[in-house]
Amino acid sequence: MSTERVRVWIAFFIVSWVWGSTWLAIKIGLHSVPPMIGASVRFLIAGSILFAIVRMRKIEISLTPQLKRLYVYLIFFSFGIPFALVYWCQQFIPTGLSSILFGAYPLWVALISHFLLGNERLDLYKISGIILGFIGVYIIFSRDAHWTDSNGLIGMLGILSTTVMQAFGLVMIKKYAQAVNPVALNFVGMSVAGVLLLAAGLIFEPVASIRWDAAAIGSILYLAIVGSVIAFVTYYWLLKRVEAVYLSLVSFINPIIAVILGAIVLDETLEAGVFAGATFVFVGIMIANGRQLYGKFVAQASAS
């Protein structure tokens, strides 16, 4: 196995593990810091690190009218609103369920891409995958899970809504930011979203209840440095070396890690119906990417 392939596998493992573990880190931090303030501090720390990278590498931050519009999409639909919801919803539902519901994200990407990206139209594979995925989501919601908190259903809807917003943000990046450095994109998006979330948190959240204990500080630093900076840099490094269809398979691994960590650390359990719905979601993702996966497999088999 070549050195480059080993590096790709290591990077794939890093992204899968980190994004599977961030759900647990968020949950732990919420015991000490309110949702919006926790998310804001995470993004402000990550933004500071990205700013240092921008300065050291002398990365240009373009401010054309088109990119300004793109930054607005990123600030509100990739970072600001989705992460405020993710942090808030994590108070009410298990980490494993959150990650499973977020598995619908690639299906929304496929659906939104059909309407906004001319070269990524829906086909029978994608349509079948989307239908199966949403059957899975329906099964999860129809189980009437008995959470200890009555806001469980709202939490589930909130997580699902973030998948739509972040899918829209990704499609906008694919449409308008092909030539823009990803460090610059993430710096602007995270930094401004962090400022807005901090302002909202100071206004609407109980600041007096904040406890800057070891759990809060460790959670925020992990999410900022590992979950934001390292994971995103690694992800974009992979995106230049691995077909996007393969990279999308991270969606299968993240929930497994989240469920295992939630069970071990927080003693969380999920109903059997949740796993049944998750199976439909993940099979839907596989089928939606079926044509590309099959084409890549045949091409590689023919070349070997």
Segment 264-297, tens digit of pLDDT: 999 988 878 888 888 898 888 888 877 666 665 5
What average pLDDT score do residues 205-218 get? 95
Q: Are 81 and 161 in contact (CB under 8 A)?
A: no
Tens digits of residue pLDDT in 49-86: 999 999 999 998 888 888 899 899 999 999 999 999 99
Residue 205 has pLDDT above 80, yes or no: yes
What average pLDDT score do residues 188-197 get? 96
Six-digit token string for 21? 């573990």
What average pLDDT score do residues 193-197 get? 98
Among 74-83, 91-100, 166-175, the minimum mean pLDDT is found in 166-175
Tell me the H-state helices in 117-271.
124-142, 152-176, 182-204, 214-221, 231-239, 244-247, 250-266
Tens digits of residue pLDDT in 3-28: 877 888 888 889 889 999 999 999 99
Reported pTM: 0.87
Residue 31 has pLDDT above 90, yes or no: yes
Q: How far apart are CA 204 and CA 142, in angstroms?
A: 32
